[in-house]
């Protein structure tokens, strides 16, 4: 039986975590007034965020295929899924405490929880075979801006308002980006995860499990503990900056 863990996939996920940490450290410096950057509109930061989230979701798609190939059943998947969903709820609570006007209701963990269910169902039902994940993934990515334009210009006002609400904006069919600190809706991001599914089918198993070198081994270790790291890195960064600020008197 093949292993669900492949060093290169874990290392790729670890790389995303390191990049995310650097990004969030800069974000926190901006929040505390140490630097002054526009994280919401400046392409320097918005493109980095897009790349980081894409890397996370792409590797999640890779990982789901490997897990199914390794014989992972629904009970084990369910336990991991419950951890992700629980952490998503904690992120919402923590962001509400720090950013009450822009708290996170459908961020990366919320989106990943829903996407993983959809992808796992597709893999178990054998719907995501051959070219299907590639075609469906690209279709969802391309459809997102077109559906957003439709919602903004042609949808009935009541429907547009409902799609913009916190209850439905997780679909990604919105007239404008909601005011929130993190937003990873199904459209277009489910498409990115599906591209990871397609890549896992296309890449040779020997490549996925190939050597990664000393640096890669460190990244792979980090990638194997991605959820715990994700939940802990911001409290550590923010706590360190607050302590540093208290010592410096600002």
Q: What is the pLDDT of residues 83-142, one digit of tens each?
A: 999 999 999 999 999 899 999 999 999 999 999 999 999 999 889 999 999 999 999 999
* pTM score of the predicted model: 0.93
pLDDT tens per residue, range 195-240 = 999 999 998 888 887 888 899 999 999 999 999 999 999 999 999 9
For 2, the 3-state DSSP assignment is: coil
Q: Where do the domains of the chain lie? A: 7-248
DSSP 170-190: GGS--SS--S-S-B--HHHHH
List Cα–Cα distances, 77 to 8, 28, 58, 61, 250, in angstroms: 21, 33, 18, 14, 46
């Amino acid at each position: 039986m093949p292993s669900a863990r492949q060093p290169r996939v874990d290392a790729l996920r670890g790389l995303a975590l390191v990049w995310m940490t650097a990004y969030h450290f800069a974000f926190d410096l901006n929040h505390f007034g140490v630097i002054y950057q526009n994280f919401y509109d400046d392409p320097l930061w918005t493109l980095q965020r897009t790349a980081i989230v894409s890397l996370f979701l792409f590797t999640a798609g890779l990982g789901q295929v490997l897990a199914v190939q390794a014989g992972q059943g629904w009970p084990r998947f369910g336990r991991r899924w419950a951890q992700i969903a629980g952490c998503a709820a904690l992120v919402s609570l923590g962001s509400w405490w720090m950013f009450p006007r822009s708290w996170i209701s459908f961020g990366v963990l919320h989106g990943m929880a829903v996407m993983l269910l959809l992808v796992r169902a597709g893999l178990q039902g054998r719907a995501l075979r051959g070219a299907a994940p590639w075609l469906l993934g690209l279709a969802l990515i391309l459809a997102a801006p077109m559906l957003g334009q439709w919602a903004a210009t042609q949808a009935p006002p009541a429907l547009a308002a409902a799609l913009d609400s916190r209850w439905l904006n997780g679909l990604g069919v919105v007239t404008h980006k909601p005011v929130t600190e993190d937003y990873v809706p199904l459209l277009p991001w489910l498409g990115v995860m599906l591209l990871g599914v397609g890549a896992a089918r296309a890449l040779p198993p020997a490549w996925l499990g190939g050597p990664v070198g000393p640096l890669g081994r460190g990244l792979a270790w980090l990638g194997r503990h991605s959820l715990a790291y994700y939940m802990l890195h911001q409290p550590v960064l923010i706590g360190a900056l607050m302590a540093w600020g208290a010592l410096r008197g600002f």
